[in-house]
Amino acid sequence: MLDIATRIALGPLLIAQANRLRRTALELPEPHGPRSGKVGHGDPVLRLLVAGDSSAAGVGARTQREALALPLAERLARRLGGAVRWQLVAESGLTSEGVLQRLIRARPQPADIALIVVGVNDITKDVPLAFALRQRQHIADWLHVHADVRHVVFPALPEMETFPAVPKPLAWYVGQAARRNNRAQARWAAKQTRVSHVVMGGVGRPDLFCEDGFHPAPALYARVADRLAEHIIAVAAAATATESTTETP
């Protein structure tokens, strides 16, 4: 009740701050570099698809080598001791619905694991949370059917109140919205058999953002890649154990 009352009381100020932020925000390009490839040695042991919004695309980094998808693939290849084939389907500004439509247009190659980085634009564009979650369900369903994906990973949103570009009290408001998103996404993912939610708390810090104050700098992308690699390794190990059990006579 306090949050609702506070949002109503601060409504005009929040709207004014949000509009000003949209007008003055520094727009950075997506980084240069390949959006697919193979890393590591030997036969491929994992096929990775990374899809989503500007953070999936790596905005805030100069090249894909400093961004998210390629460093994550490299970490997985080292941990798994084999090659990882990776592909990136991402675009700045996408909501959950936009990511779904982008995937349908791109028709990505088959993958074992899909990482979907999405949600911030759902909040900044006032997309109802229930609608956003339905679109994420559609993303997972589409990937299972059309890209042969065995498991879809949805990271939690970062603590948006720590974004340096976002002024107070708007920072408080988007931080609350991010936490609501994370709780709802975790509940939804827990009911799925081939979907998981990754807790990302404590990864970000205000000093690890790039010059726009909104996207990760390379050092933060590295921390995010470390956290996600741990989760994906655990998912892959669990899948292997399940397959071994199933094949045992």
Q: Hey, what's the torsion of the CAs at 201, 202, 205, 210, to 10 degrees?
A: -50
pLDDT digits (tens, 9 = 90+) for 176-211: 999 999 999 999 999 999 999 999 999 989 999 999
Let me know how long the chain is. Answer: 249
Mean per-residue pLDDT for 133-145?
Answer: 98
Domains and their CATH numbers in the chain: 2-247 (3.40.50.1110)
Mean per-residue pLDDT for 128-139?
Answer: 98
Whether the Cβ atoms of residue 162 and residue 133 lie closer than 8 Å to each other: no
Report how far apart, in Å, the C-alpha atoms of 112 and of each of 44, 82, 210 are. Answer: 11, 14, 31
pLDDT digits (tens, 9 = 90+) for 226-248: 999 999 999 988 876 666 555 54
Q: pLDDT at residue 8 above 50?
A: yes
Cα 167 from Cα 12, distance rounded (Å)? 14
User: Could you tell me which residues come within 8 angstroms of residue 145 by beta carbon, excluding any fewer than 6 positions away?
Assistant: none
Mean per-residue pLDDT for 126-152?
Answer: 98
- What region does 202 belong to: left with phi over 0, alpha with psi -120 to 50, or beta? left
Using alpha carbons only, give the angle 94, 110, 222 rounded to the nearest 5 degrees. Answer: 55
Q: What is the pLDDT of residue 10?
A: 65
Question: What is the rounded average pLDDT for all residues in the chain?
Answer: 92
Whether the Cβ atoms of residue 198 and residue 227 lie closer than 8 Å to each other: yes
Mean per-residue pLDDT for 124-153?
Answer: 97
pLDDT digits (tens, 9 = 90+) for 89-124: 999 999 999 999 999 999 999 999 999 999 999 999
Give me the residue label for tokens 């741990």.
230
Residue predicted with more confidence, 98 or 24:
98
Q: What is the pLDDT of residue 9?
A: 55
User: Beta 44-52 vs 195-198: how paired, if at all?
Assistant: unpaired
Query: Token pair for residue 100?
Result: 């779904």
